[in-house]
């Protein structure tokens, strides 16, 4: 005789399936603001990509890429230090979990990158055919300062209006 599953068993099954789907969802892109060399950058990560087929990303912005540290291992290390663990440790390798990779060179077979590991910035080479999470960045414009007279004028106008309102309320009473 066939018995229908109980309501609690069905709920458990739905919960397990939902949990499985949630963990299979693609990772959300993360972004942090850092200052390197006196410039402000929005540094981001997304899903793992390979160097192969995405070569255009691996270049400085002047060369059409999104990695201002490309071609400079010291600048890549500065960015890795500035970002620290604020973007997590998205690169799982057989040797551990590392922060995003800041690629600084490639010969087509290997990609050289700096990354955070255990509080230290390291540099190594990685297979260009394997997918890793690489950092990208965009230069942020400097914050525009508010001219100093404007806050003072706003305060003076607010004070004047409050005095006028107080007089009206006093005369109405």
d(CA 137, CA 43): 4
* Contact by Cβ (8 Å): 111, 58: yes
% residues pLDDT > 90 (the chain): 51
Average pLDDT, the chain: 80
pLDDT exceeds 70 at position 120: yes
d(CA 64, CA 48): 20
58 confidence band (pLDDT: 50, 70, 90): very high
Q: Is the dihedral of CA 145, 151, 154, 158 positive or negative?
A: positive
pLDDT in tens, 61-117: 988 889 999 999 999 999 999 998 899 999 888 778 899 999 999 998 999 999 998
For residue 139, what are the β-bridge partners?
Answer: 41
Which residues lie closer than 8 Å to 73 by C-beta, 6 or more apart? 104, 105, 112, 114, 123
Tokens 């299979």, residue?
24
pLDDT exceeds 60 at position 29: yes
pLDDT exceeds 80 at position 51: yes
Burial class (CB in 10 A: 0-12, 13-18, 19+), 113: buried
> Sheet of 30-36: strands edge to edge?
30-36, 39-45, 136-139
List the chain domain ranges: 26-139, 144-173
């Amino acid at each position: 005789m066939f018995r229908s599953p109980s309501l609690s068993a069905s709920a458990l099954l739905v919960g397990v399936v939902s949990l499985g789907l949630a963990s299979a969802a693609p990772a959300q892109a993360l972004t942090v603001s850092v200052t390197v060399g006196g410039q402000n950058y929005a540094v981001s990560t997304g899903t793992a990509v390979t160097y192969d087929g995405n070569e255009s990303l691996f270049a400085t912005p002047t060369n059409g890429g999104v990695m201002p540290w490309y071609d400079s291992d010291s600048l890549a290390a500065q960015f890795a230090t500035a970002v620290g663990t604020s973007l997590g440790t998205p690169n799982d390798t057989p040797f551990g979990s590392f922060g995003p990779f800041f690629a600084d060179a490639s010969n087509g077979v290997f990609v050289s990158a700096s990354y955070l590991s255990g509080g230290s910035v390291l540099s190594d080479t990685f297979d260009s055919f394997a997918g890793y999470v690489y950092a990208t960045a965009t230069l942020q414009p400097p914050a525009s300062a508010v001219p100093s007279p404007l806050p003072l004028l706003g305060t003076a106008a607010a004070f004047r209006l409050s005095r006028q309102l107080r007089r009206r309320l006093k005369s109405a009473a």
